[in-house]
Amino acid sequence: MSSIDDLFTKLRRENRKALMPFITAGDPDVDFTAAMIEQLVARGASMCEIGIPYSDPIADGPVIQESYTRALDRGIKVSDILRTLGKVAAKIDAPLVTMVSYAIIYRHGAEQYADALQQKGVAGMIVPDLPVEESPQLAAVCASRNLSLIQLVTPTTSPDRALKIAETSSGFLYYVSVAGITGERTELPPELQDRVGWLREQTPLPVCIGFGISQPEHVKLLAPVADGLIVGSAIVRRMAKAETAGRDCTLQDVGDYVSTLLAAFA
């Protein structure tokens, strides 16, 4: 079992759900990335998703796109990110996963990228632009290294295709709440709960919801039907203030925000 499998086994035994913050690596630098991960875990986050900046993200809205651009303009490298994650992973008791374009994996080589994650203690990868038809090879590479390959199901994914995605996924399934890009939303689709409920009946994998979640009310609405909730843009937007508001203040601000979301699980 991977560390993500262990996490969800523990959460289910304790009748708890996961909060999984997403942050962009290297915005404004890897030292702040490390400090933010430690802050999030200290506040109670179950897992952290680390976005690997990419020049042409497939599903990210303006907040995350801008954070990627800032990090890339400062010369961030994948090797710098993984080195930092390795240092942090040794200090915390929560899995780390990378949100990474398949183009980056392909450029490095699937086995080489997976080896690097394994060596640094990273638990797995989310690959948003990996078609299910091309996923078995990467799934095998991950399985041989005890890494989780987390794939996405969207509102426009057909039931048959969703089941195929589940077959080559591990760790958990990432359910995209809306047809569109990432970003904070005031309202979520009314059919979301039913769709997630159906998917959970089809697979033993945990199902976690992302895209648009930003308010305690969203947590209260979705926690009963999901195994975990993913929050990204609302955190990345707050992190963007680090250079103007100060790093310590930003760490506190993001930590306080995450605490309000965690309180809504109760």
Catalytic residues: 49, 60
Taking the C-alpha atoms of residue 138 and residue 142, their distance in angstroms, rounded to an integer, is: 6
Q: Strands across the sheet with 124-126, in order? A: 148-150, 124-126, 96-99, 48-51, 18-24, 228-231, 207-210, 173-176, 152-153
Which CA distances in Å does 122 have to 4, 71, 99, 138? Answer: 10, 21, 12, 16
Residue in the structure block whose two tokens are 């797995």: 124
Helix H, strand E, coil C: the string for 47-87 is: CEEEECCCCCCCCCCHHHHHHHHHHHHCCCCHHHHHHHHHH
Across the strands, what pairs with 23?
Answer: 50
Identify whether 28 is preceded by a cis peptide bond (ω within 30 of 0): yes
Residue 126 tokens read as: 């989310």
Give the Cα separation of 264 and 266 in Å (integer): 5
Rounded Cα–Cα distance for residues 19 and 15 (Å): 13
How many CA atoms lie less than 13 Å away from 129 in the CB half-sphere? 14
